[in-house]
A = this chain, B = another copy of it.
Amino acid sequence: MPRTAMGARTLPGEYFTSPTVYDQETSRIFLPGWICTGRASDIPEPGDFFLHELDGESFLIIRSESGQINCFYNVCRHRGTRLQHEKCGHLKSRIQCPYHAWGYDMEGKLKSAPNMMGTPGFCTSDHSLQAIACVVWQGFILINQQRPAEDFKNDFRDILHRFDPWELDRLVSAHEIIYDVAANWKIIFQNYSECYHCSLVHPQLRPITSVETASNDFQQGHFLGGPMILAEDHESITADGKRCGQPLAQLSETDLRRVYFYTLFPSLFISPHPDYVLTHRIERVNSESTRIVCNWLFPADTLQQTNFDASSAVEFWDLTNRQDWEICELTQLGVQSRAYRPGPYSGLESMLVAFDQHYLSTMKDD
């Protein structure tokens, strides 16, 4: 069945520029959504932590003595002081406020509050840190500001085991690049969701995989995307066409000839290759800018090998990323125009139609 855009048109300009829409996205999509903040392997030991900034909020994500990962608002319950300001690090025992030395344990319980004991009505158990839901899935740490951890499995049921063949939870980041892009986050999603632009924007991709080989096994809803087939003379998508290491786990012959591209609404792209998994975390900054954290994930033991070299994979996708961000920025500039009108999608942009539909239905929820 040929893909079709069903006569759909691009979103009106206000969706890419309006602060009102932005705030509505916050309450309809980002507050109740599962937001990827990093990898569990980034904080392997109890006491290891990192901060995650999200829409002006700072979250303290820390592995507790039990090994569980918790997420707290980075706010002291006394005068509101930010508890930690180093981006990442290791705490010995307490989360101590730097102002008046209030001390919390790694489960967020207030354990000491100097000079407060004589305060009438004061009770340490009333002043635990405020926690939010935090789950680990396939090695990703996902947080949710409004909904409980129990909801996660149901929300992700369609894709829960999709990545099992690549044994994603055993992968660690060999390289990370952070990009600041002057474009709305939806333009970044839309750009990732079609290869109609590949021939003009990414000439280096043309000999490796062709838009004609693309298909989609997730065609609507929260998760979208599917495979493209590698050209015969390529083992993976890398600068030299060779794999950067052994194939991942026990991939089937089919998966060894494919690269997959999936969007996980609203904050993550996962792109499994035969030898590595590329991930993009998408962080909204404001209506007109987005931060993108790109990681190249490999098995921990591949990284240990003396001749391991990820540069061929990094180089290829860094170039491709930059080409994408440049065209996304030009699109942002255009849709801000008074003259911009929704334009017609082609059949090659069917995933954008699906993205827009899901986005609009989510924005309508109450």
Contact = CB atoms under 8 A, between A and B. Distances in A.
A101 interface: yes
Interface stretch (A163-171, A289-297, A333-341): A333-341
Contacts of A119: 5, 7, 344-347
This protein's copies in its complex: 3
B337 A196 contact: no
Question: Chain A contact residues: over half helix, strand or loop, or mixed?
Answer: loop
A99 interface: yes
Max count, chain B CB within 10 A of own CB: residue among A130, A201, A331: A331
Contact of A334 (B80, B327, B348): B80
Given A98-B201, A338-B57, A339-B57, A344 B116 contact: yes
A209 interface: no
Interface stretch (A69-77, A219-227, A235-243, A299-307): A69-77
Contacts of A344: 78, 116, 119, 121-122, 127
Max count, chain B CB within 10 A of own CB: residue among A7, A73, A338, A347: A338
Contact of A99 (B58, B78, B116, B197): B197
Contacts of A98: 200-201, 327, 330
Contact of A80 (B80, B130, B343): B343
Contacts of A335: 79-80
